[in-house]
Chain A
Amino acid sequence: SQTIHQWPATLVQPVGSPLSLECTVEGTSNPNLYWYRQAAGRGLQLLFYSVGIGQISSEVPQNLSASRPQDRQFILSSKKLLLSDSGFYLCAWTRGAYEQYFGPGTRLTVT
């Protein structure tokens, strides 16, 4: 069966510090991968999605970036965090137009 992992679960970082969140998927190959952010009490905001290694589409221009160095690995990064980057970051995968499955998420607080 397929499993999606995200870490860390919780993170507190000062403004201006770098960020690296990692997501890996097991039990499938060539998945579509996604990064979402959810601010407190708000809906999901799609940040990036990838249909293959090295292929990244950005939905929202901001100080975040994403990379897909391996088929089942998706990384979200920032060189300098802003207060507005606080939120619940979710990684997800899907095969084509089928159901999307989410990791447990990382709760980021920028102080």
Chain B
Amino acid sequence: RKEVEQDPGPFNVPEGATVAFNCTYSNSASQSFFWYRQDCRKEPKLLMSVYSSGNEDGRFTAQLNRASQYISLLIRDSKLSDSATYLCVVNIWEGDMRFGAGTRLTVKP
């Protein structure tokens, strides 16, 4: 089993749609969790950290379920500019970050 697994995608959605990405992790001792986005041929950029209580940043909502070892990202009112690959990242311990393979999202007009 991979340490961090994500929905394989790709997700093709119309503008204005709501889309959800899921991620599971295998190490129950994982300390912190993040979502990154990566545009084509660019470096990954931090989208948001994921807190136990759940957190929201504008149209983006992240949830963490430690009992199920599950992380989610919800994007509401999708924009064309949201098209990218979304990476789930888990910090196992200081210095050890594990990335999922990513889920590609294409938002179409």
Residues of A within 8 A of B (CB): 32, 34, 36, 42-44, 46, 49-51, 57, 88, 90, 92, 94, 96-105, 107
Interface centre among B31, B32, B34, B95 (most CB of A within 10 A): B95
Residue of A nearest to B49 (CB): A99
Residue of B nearest to A4 (CB): B43
In the bound complex, what is the Cα–Cα distance between A90 and B46 (angstroms)? 14
9-residue interface stretch from B19-27, B55-63, B68-76, B86-94: B86-94
Count the A-B residue pairs with Cβ separation under 8 angstroms: how many? 53
Check A88–B41 contact: CB distance below 8 A: yes
A-B contact pairs, 10 of them (CB 8 A): A34-B97, A44-B99, A90-B43, A90-B44, A92-B97, A99-B34, A100-B46, A100-B97, A102-B44, A104-B43
* Nearest 10 CB-CB pairings of A with B: A43-B101, A102-B43, A44-B99, A51-B95, A97-B31, A97-B91, A32-B95, A97-B32, A96-B94, A105-B43
Shortest distance from the beta carbon of A21 to any chain B beta carbon, whole Å: 14
Interface of B is mostly: strand
**B contact residues around A104 at 8 Å (CB):** 42-43
Interface of A is mostly: strand
In the bound complex, what is the Cα–Cα distance between A94 and B94 (angstroms)? 9
- A32-B95, A46-B97 as given contacts; A103 in contact with B43, CB under 8 Å: yes
Select B94's contact among A32, A103, A107, beta carbons within 8 Å: A32
In the bound complex, what is the Cα–Cα distance between A85 and B94 (angstroms)? 28
Residue of B nearest to A52 (CB): B95
In the bound complex, what is the Cα–Cα distance between A104 and B45 (angstroms)? 10
Check B94–A101 contact: CB distance below 8 A: no
Shortest distance from the beta carbon of A90 to any chain B beta carbon, whole Å: 6
In the bound complex, what is the Cα–Cα distance between A43 and B44 (angstroms)? 11
In the bound complex, what is the Cα–Cα distance between A44 and B46 (angstroms)? 15
In the bound complex, what is the Cα–Cα distance between A96 and B97 (angstroms)? 10
